[in-house]
């Protein structure tokens, strides 16, 4: 999995850039940034970046989810869980989570707005990640807990930084 470190880090940095400068200041990650640099500095930087580099809505609202699915598919797709005598690959978990999150928005269970384009981006990046990891050896999740398991858990937890706080 270490050979995928660069695409994972770059993808997450693109997500961070989009969230910090183009998404609402009410997300957890933006609250952290404002605590680090001051709200005034944050708003000045945000205005400068968004004025210098305007982005389409689909880049701002759908690309980060697709990139996150890409990252978690790469990090979890090499794992399986054992249920009885069966091995269940975790490569399907990222797309299931993405669709579940969108449906949760559709039915008002979570904050956010349902968008088909989010599902399309998630699906495209999921397939791309599956292609990248198709020949990787599979290992049992958390048995033993190792570097790969820790990275997998971290990529899943990063989505919490996109949480909108009121």
22, containing H or E segment: helix 5-22
> What angle separates helix 147-157 from helix 63-76, to the nearest 10 degrees?
160
CA contacts within 13 A on the Cβ side of 54: 2
pLDDT at residue 15 is higher than 90: yes
Residue 31 confidence (pLDDT) above 90: yes
What's the chain's average pLDDT?
Answer: 91
**97 pLDDT tier (thresholds 50, 70, 90):** very high
**What does the pLDDT look like over 43-64, one tens digit per residue?**
999 999 999 999 999 999 999 9
Q: Which residue has the tokens 């598919």?
A: 73
**Per-residue 3-state assignment (H helix, E strand, C coil) for 112-149:** CCCCHHHHHHHHHHHHHHHHHHCCCCCEECCCCCCHHH
Q: How far apart, in whole angstroms, are the C-alpha atoms of residue 47 and residue 93?
A: 37
pLDDT digits (tens, 9 = 90+) for 62-95: 999 999 999 999 999 989 988 899 999 999 999 9
Instruction: Check the CA dihedral 15-103-111-117 and report its sign.
Output: positive
pTM of the model: 0.89
pLDDT (average), residues 118-122: 97
CB atoms within 10 A of CB 19: 19
| Predicted local distance difference test score (pLDDT) of residue 123 | 98
């Amino acid at each position: 999995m270490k050979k995928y470190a660069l695409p994972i880090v770059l993808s997450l940095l693109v997500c961070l850039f989009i969230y910090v400068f183009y998404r609402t200041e009410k997300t957890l990650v933006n609250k952290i940034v404002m605590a680090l640099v001051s709200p005034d500095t944050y708003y000045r930087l945000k205005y400068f970046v968004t004025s210098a580099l305007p982005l389409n809505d689909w880049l701002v609202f759908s690309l980060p989810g697709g990139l996150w699915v890409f990252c978690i598919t790469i990090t979890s797709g090499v794992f399986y869980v054992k249920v009885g005598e069966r091995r269940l690959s975790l490569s399907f978990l990222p797309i299931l989570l993405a669709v579940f999150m969108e449906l949760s928005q559709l039915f008002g269970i979570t904050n956010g707005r349902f968008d088909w384009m989010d599902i399309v981006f998630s699906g495209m990046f999921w397939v791309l990640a599956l292609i990248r990891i198709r020949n990787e050896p599979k290992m049992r999740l958390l048995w033993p807990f190792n570097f790969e398991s820790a990275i997998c858990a971290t990529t899943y937890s990063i989505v919490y930084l996109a949480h909108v706080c009121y």
